[in-house]
Structure formats: C-alpha cells, structure tokens
Amino acid sequence: MAYLTKEEEEMLAGKHGEAKRLSMELLVKAVDAYKAERLIPIASCHLVLSFQKTSMKAGLEIAERFVELGAKCAVPTSIDTSSMDFERWEEFRFPKDFAEDQFRMKKALEGLGAIPTWSCVPYQGGGIVPRFGEHIAWTESSTAPYVNSLIGARTNRVGAYEDLASAVTGRTPYYGLQLDEERLGKILIEVTTDLTHGDYNVFGTWLGTLVETKVPVITGIPVEEVTSLDLRYMGASGAATGSLALYHMPGITAEARTVEEAFGGRKITERVEFGPDELRKTKEGMNSIPSGNIDLCVIGCPHLTIEALVDLANKVKGKKVKVETYALTNKVAKDMAIEMGVAQVIEDAGIKLNTGCCAWSPVELCGFPEHFTVMTNSGKQAWYTPSLLTLLRPGKVDVMYGDVDECIEAACAGKFEGRY
Ligand code: F3S
C-alpha cells in the first residue's frame, strides 16, 4: 500500500503487536471501501462499541480479545452510552445475564484505557472537547453533527469496530467530512416558521429525511434564541432519520460566516423551505398514535447536561409523575445535580435519573407489557423506538412525541391527550 507511512506499514506487518495489526488491516480495507486517499492521524476518538444491546456477544468478544492482546487506545478516547445504568440496573429490572455482559464490556473498554464518559454528549460529560479543524474519529449520531457543526472539528460518522481500530492506531481514513470540499454546503434550507425549543427535534427529523448525505446550509434560525441544547436535539434527530453529520448555520455554527462562504462561493442549485405546514405534518408523523395512555416516559436523548437537568427540576418541582419516567444523563451532570440539590427535586417528582444509559436500552426486557407506549421529548428516540424497543423481544411499541413540558404533563396524567 503505497499510501502507508513507515509507522503504518510496521503496524500492518505486526511489528507493534497483533491488535494494531488487526486494526490496521481493517482500516486499509476501509480506505478501499470509502475510496479514500490514505489514512490520517487523529487527535481523539469516541467509541460506540460500548452499547451492549447492539454490540451483542460478538462486540464483547472483540473488545475482550483486544484487551488480551494488550491493546491500548493510542489517542484520548471517550465511551458512548451504556445499555444500562451501572448503579441502578437492578432497580430498572435489567436481566442479570444482560447486565453481566454489559459489565464485561465496561471492564474491557476501560481496560483499553478509554475514558469512562458513558455518554452521547462526551464533550460535556468529562470527556474530550475537540478544537476547530481537528481531525478526529467519533462515532454516534448525536456527537458527529455537534462536533462537526458547532465546534468545526472533522469527523465522519465512524462505525463500531472501525472506531476501535482508529482508537488503537490513532488513524482514520481520509475521506468525506475530513476534506474541505466535502464540507461545503450542497442544499439551502430556509426556515420560515417560528420554532419553539422543542420544535428543533421536529425540524431535525424533517431535515434528516430530506437532505440524506448532503450538507445543508440553514437560514432563518434566530441567533439570539436558539440554544446549543436545541441544536443537540436537532442534530441527533437529523442523524437518526437521515445521515446528517454536518450543517452550516451562518452566524451560529463554526465554519461559515455567510451563506456564500458555506457554499464555497458556488451557485446554489437546490433550495427548500421549512414552513408551518412542514412543521405540523412532521410533528404529526412523529407519533405512531395521536393520544392515549403511556407506560414509559423518557426525557434526555441525547443525554441531559447540567443546564437541562436544572431546567427539568424547575419544571417538575412540586409535581408527581404517575408512570415510570426516566431522565437520561451522564455521571458528571448527575454528580453536579446532586450537589446543586436538583437531582433530589427530580427524584421527588418520581422521575428516575438513569445514568450513562441510552434511550434504546433493552427496556423490552424490563417488565413492560408486550404492547406498550413510550412518550419522549426526542426526535431521535421517536424515530427509533418502534423498531429498537422490540429488538430483543417481539411485541409492539407505540410512541408519542412531545416537548419537555408535554412529556411532564403526560407523565403526571398517565396519558397524552394529543394536540390535533
Ligand atoms: Fe444518546 Fe442513545 Fe439517544 S446514544 S442520543 S440516548 S439514542
């Protein structure tokens, strides 16, 4: 392979150990598959192999084998969500054999020297904050749009196993969003309707299905009102319904200060409007049923950071939920919430802080009826719930989407009255 550096050639030849040889073999195949030019060094990595529900036994065996081979992360590497809360898994009724596998995965990843962030917002969970322009290899649909767009770091949506190979070698294929050209805008999206904070999930859901792999340039977002939390939800929703990994919002995101700059001075050939009709129809489509009783309410996909936990505490103070309700967060945010007293307020309302855990955790194994209904404030979760919460046990799951206020109201009433 003419493009390999001397060190990379040595890794491929096994001179730096079997784990690096296996990893380099995988990366060389990835270079071919992506038609990449070569490999490039990376500054950091984020691993999604952590999620036992989808890694299953095969993922676990690979992670443990790498530990046996003496592999270590060559660059700072954070860990994505777990499939369960490591401290409260029994309270959440996870089966023991599943929990044992998830604990083995924890031991293996931490044995590789990865940072135990256990979060899909690792940049706010004690993990790594990349810098503008830095080449990194990060997995997980909610992280890539954020670090590419808001920070201006460069990552493709790296898949499981490739992430491990990158962590161990400190390399990633040089293609896609690592390249200047591929980061330019391809489609203009004009938002012509007012958006509430919750509506960013709806906009992201619509955006993902529309743009597929094209980089959108978005106008019409009020700079003074939109929050980084709104954009986290928007990016995660768009990455779930499509392949959104980078967007430009001139004046808000990191890379392009004007629409012209976002398109690299090229002519705009595609332009689509997001107006009140698109907002209403998309929101309607995010519900598999329009109203009804709920069995589980989940808030915090992506994970709630400390400011979101404070906001949640303010909203639920003095209220009491009637159905099982989880607030997903990471350990760093939870510890701060405990110190600030807001964790107690949330728990007093009957909402359980579910730490390090993903919205796709195997709740279908946790004692819910064969046909159950989930209420969520996340576009990403609304999209995946009907398929992913039946993965390990056949059945049917309905989903209803609402903003945080609607979720709290529904959880306190035990049902969502709908809005149409
Ligand atoms: Fe995070 Fe899992 Fe949602 S990784 S974005 S909580 S689906």
| b/e sequence 135-153, b meaning 16+ C-beta within 10 Å | bbbbbbbbbbbbbbbbbbb
User: Could you tell me if the CB of 127 is within 6 A of ligand 1?
Assistant: no
Ligand 1 within 6 A of CB of 385: no
Distance 227 CA to ligand 1 centre (A): 19
What would the DSSP string read from start to end of 365-417? GTT--SEEEEEES-HHHHHHHHHHTTSSS--EEEEEE--HHHHHHHHHHTEE-
The alpha carbon of 301 is separated from its chain's Cα centroid by a whole number of angstroms, namely 8
Which helix (H) or strand (E) segment is 249 a member of? none
Q: Is residue 234 in contact with ligand 1, taking CB distance under 6 Å? A: no
Q: What is the pTM of this model?
A: 0.95
Give the per-residue pLDDT at 126.
86
At residue 173, what are phi and psi to the nearest 5 degrees? Answer: -60, 140
Task: Output the CA 297–ligand 1 centroid distance in Å.
Answer: 15
Residues of 338-371 as b/e, b for ≥16 C-beta within 10 angstroms? eeeebbebbbebbbbbbbbbbbbbbbbbbebeee
Q: 389: alpha, beta or left, given left = phi > 0 and alpha = psi -120 to 50?
A: alpha
236 closest CA partner among 248, 226, 245:
245
pLDDT tens digits for the chain (420 residues)? 789 999 999 999 999 999 999 999 999 999 999 999 999 999 999 999 888 888 888 999 999 999 999 999 999 999 999 999 999 999 999 999 999 999 999 999 999 999 999 999 999 888 899 999 999 999 888 899 999 999 999 999 998 899 999 999 999 999 999 999 999 999 999 999 999 999 999 999 999 999 988 999 999 999 999 999 999 999 999 999 999 999 999 999 999 999 999 999 999 999 999 999 999 999 999 999 999 999 999 999 999 999 999 999 999 999 999 999 999 999 999 999 999 999 999 999 999 999 999 988 999 999 999 999 999 999 999 999 988 888 888 889 999 999 999 999 999 999 999 875
Ligand 1 contact, 302 CB (< 6 A): yes
- The finding on whether 42 has its CB within 6 A of some atom of ligand 1 is no
C-alpha separations of 408 from 39, 168, 340 in Å: 48, 43, 21
Q: Whose CA is nearest to atom 2 of ligand 1?
A: 358
What's the gap in Å between 254 CA and the centre of ligand 1?
24
> According to the model, what pLDDT value does residue 156 have?
97
Query: What was the pLDDT predicted at 420?
Result: 57
- Say whether 130 sits in a helix, a strand or coil: coil
Note whether 137 and 166 are within 8 A (CB). yes
Among 232, 380, 388, 401, residue to substitute to test ligand 1 (most atoms within 8 Å of Cβ): 380
Calculate the CA 343 to chain-centre distance. Answer: 23
